[in-house]
Amino acid sequence: MHCKFLSIFFVTCTILLSGVLSYEEVIKKPESIAKDYYIYRLLTETANITTEQAKVLYGQISRMNSNLEKEFEKKIGLNQSAQDELICRKSAQEDLSSLSQECIKLLIYPPFVTSLDEKAKVKLIKKLQEDNNSFTVGWIEAMGEKDVFVSLQEKGAKEFLMVFNSMPRNYTKVYFDKNLSVDFIKLLEKQDDYERFIKNIVVGEQHFEILPKSLLYESQNSSLSHNSYFFLGINAARLSETELAERFFNQAEKKAYFKYDKDKALFWQYLVSKSNQTLQILSESHDVNIYSLYAKEMFDLPVLSAIFITPSQNEPKIFFDMHDPFVWKEFLDMIKKLSLDELESLSEKFNSEETLPIYAFLLERVMQYRRSYFIVPFGKYFTDFNDERKIMILSLAKQESHFITSTISTSYALGMMQFMPFLARSIAKDEKIDNFDIDDMFKPDVAYKFANIHLDYLNKYLYHPLFVAYAYNGGIGFTKRMLQSNVFFKNGNYEPFLSMETIGYEESREYGKKVLANYVMYSKYFGKDVSIKALLTALTKPEETDKFRQ
């Protein structure tokens, strides 16, 4: 059955897309992020979409984002949710005592309550009491007391977390930097929001001096996640409670499902314990990450689980449109139905220069991710780049898209190098590229060219691959603010690792570490003797890494 399906699939899914699709074309496409993207293009780049057509398109969205929402608002007005919120806010301004239950659910959160004067709060509390909403009354009343910290504890663990996790840090720093009892911590850790509470204390710039010490309690709660244990370990390490930190990291390693998370916890066990036995265990990991690479380097071991592959032939055995995101979506849906043997058989059809990314993509699944495949696809498009630039681009592309040329993210970052449309258009304008269409980002030659141009800009300010990765993912503004905060990547205990685990933007935090591991591997491919330990050591030396701290 699968073989028959495959033959039909590769015959029918070969239509090359380019530019804005018509309304008639778009509505026939399967629900997907790709369809959302072309709906967005239709709304933003054409003027002939009627209100009725826009309503039909609205009903076909797979995943709404803020940009798409704004475009629909222009065409068909506010959606029902936005209309409801507008009505609720107007009602709240007029008379809080008349708020509906729906409006209370929509509006009544701690930041909103702090914007009210005392008279308005009294009206709101009276309304909530009439509706028997004792939970919300509890935390609102507690926020009005002189000692918010104690009052919230008296109301309960759920109320405490509601306020702490909702309010900005300038508020929590003033009202929450105090000691919590072990008994209350035991109540907090039973709540769903406890992990968020831990992260709000540990991650980012350190606003608390006393509260973190409350987390130096060895939980017996078996329901805590590996992330909770990991950040409890980070907190304990920061406070020099090394034995407790080691136990937390041990629990994190046991709880983690993915090898990367296990390796991260093992690495921190080594950092706090200095146990060569722990480092030896980590060095045997099959996952390629900064933690295992560090361990292998310390024991002078090869990375056996990383394989550089080259295609066996120049031409693919089948025709597959690498530039069409709908083809890629259907392909992903199809391979979910295949056995490992069928995937392995299918992979050989893609063992060519043109389709090398799909070949590697399938091989990783065949090996159930116990092998990491590193490829250098479409090399003819960057022959003029120096090796350092090739290494950086390949390191980014592997993390961004695994070199799949037709990838689209939920925010509509496009292609192999995941360029946002606004940035791609800006580069095209600066470079005076005629007839540029943002679908051109699905072409590997354009993707490499634009990445090279963007890296020219980033490298004016950032010289270290980790910081370049942060800027590529989170923006150069975020990276500049982080480096100039005088908080991260300074000399100190567990640096630079502590900074790498606690910078505020989680996506960039994990992204940077993975790109750095790729950078080490591609450096090896190009014959460069790059040390992961040396790269990490350099992070606390501004003269070697960036312009912002000099």
Least reliable range by pLDDT among 3-12, 268-277, 431-440: 3-12
Tokens of 210: 């006393």
- Is 67 inside any structural domain? no
User: Residues 512, 472: contact at Cβ < 8 Å?
Assistant: no
What CATH number corresponds to the domain at position 425? 1.10.530.10
Map residue 462 onto helix, strand or coil. Answer: strand
Q: Looking at residue 222, what is its pLDDT?
A: 83
Q: Which residues pair with 419 in a beta bridge?
A: 414
Map residue 522 onto helix, strand or coil. Answer: helix
Query: What's the angle, vertex CA 246, arms to CA 499 and CA 198, rounded to 5?
Result: 55
- Is 144 inside any structural domain? yes
- Is 78 inside any structural domain? no
Helix (H) or strand (E) holding 248: helix 242-255
pLDDT for 312 beyond 90: no
Domain range for 160 is 104-176
- Is 351 inside any structural domain? no
User: Residues 310, 378: contact at Cβ < 8 Å?
Assistant: no
Start-to-end C-alpha separation, the chain: 63
- Is 338 inside any structural domain? no
Q: Residue 378 region, left (φ>0) first, then alpha (ψ -120 to 50), else beta?
A: left
Q: Which pLDDT tens digit goes with each residue over 416-425?
A: 999 999 999 9
Q: Looking at residue 13, what is its pLDDT?
A: 46
Beta strand spans in 354-498 (E)? 372-374
Beta strand spans in 229-323 (E)? 306-308
Q: Which pLDDT tens digit goes with each residue over 105-157?
A: 878 899 989 988 888 888 889 888 988 889 999 999 999 999 999 999 999 99
Entry field: residues in the chain: 550
Tokens of 138: 């509890």
- Is 278 inside any structural domain? no
Tell me how far apart the alpha carbons of residues 154 and 160 are, in angstroms, rounded to a whole number. Answer: 9
Instruction: List CB contacts of 348: < 8 A, sequence separation 6 or more.
Output: 317
Question: What's the mean per-residue pLDDT of the chain?
Answer: 92
Identify the domain boundary among 176, 192, 227.
176
Q: Looking at residue 95, what is its pLDDT?
A: 78
Secondary structure of 143-203 in the HEC alphabet?
HCCCCHHHHHHHHCHHHHHHHHHHCCHHHHHHHHCCCCCHHHHHHHCCCCCHHHHHHHHHC
Q: Looking at residue 14, what is its pLDDT?
A: 43
Q: Which amino acid is at 67?
A: N
Tell me how far apart the alpha carbons of residues 476 and 206 are, in angstroms, rounded to a whole number. Answer: 22
User: Residues 480, 492: contact at Cβ < 8 Å?
Assistant: no
Q: Looking at residue 89, what is its pLDDT?
A: 81
Q: Which pLDDT tens digit goes with each residue over 489-514?
A: 999 999 999 999 999 999 999 999 99
DSSP state of 337: T
Q: Looking at residue 287, what is its pLDDT?
A: 96
Identify the domain boundary among 145, 176, 207.
176
Q: Looking at residue 96, what is its pLDDT?
A: 80
Identify the domain boundary among 121, 147, 176.
176
pLDDT for 216 beyond 70: yes
Region 449-465: mean pLDDT is 97
- Is 188 inside any structural domain? no
Residue 57 pLDDT class (50, 70, 90 cuts): very high
Tokens of 313: 């032939």
Tell me how far apart the alpha carbons of residues 36 and 25 are, in angstroms, rounded to a whole number. Answer: 13
DSSP state of 306: E
Tell me how far apart the alpha carbons of residues 116 and 133 are, in angstroms, rounded to a whole number. Answer: 19
> What domain count does the chain have?
2
Tell me how far apart the alpha carbons of residues 161 and 169 are, in angstroms, rounded to a whole number. Answer: 14
Helix (H) or strand (E) holding 283: helix 276-283
Identify the residue whose tokens are 């090398």.
356
Tokens of 439: 């679908």
Identify the residue whose tokens are 């508020």.
171
Q: Which pLDDT tens digit goes with each residue over 95-113?
A: 787 788 888 887 889 998 9
Residue 6 pLDDT class (50, 70, 90 cuts): low
- Is 436 inside any structural domain? yes
Single out the residue of 347, 407, 342, 337 nearest to residue 371, CA to CA: 347
282-297: string of b/e by CB count within 10 Å (b at 16+)? Answer: bbebbbbbbbbbbbbb
Q: Which pLDDT tens digit goes with each residue over 334-344?
A: 999 999 999 99
For 117, counting Cβ atoms within 10 Å of its Cβ (0-12 exposed, 13-18 middle, 19+ buried), the class is exposed
Region 389-399: mean pLDDT is 98
Task: Return the CA Rg of the chain.
Answer: 27
Tokens of 132: 């028997």
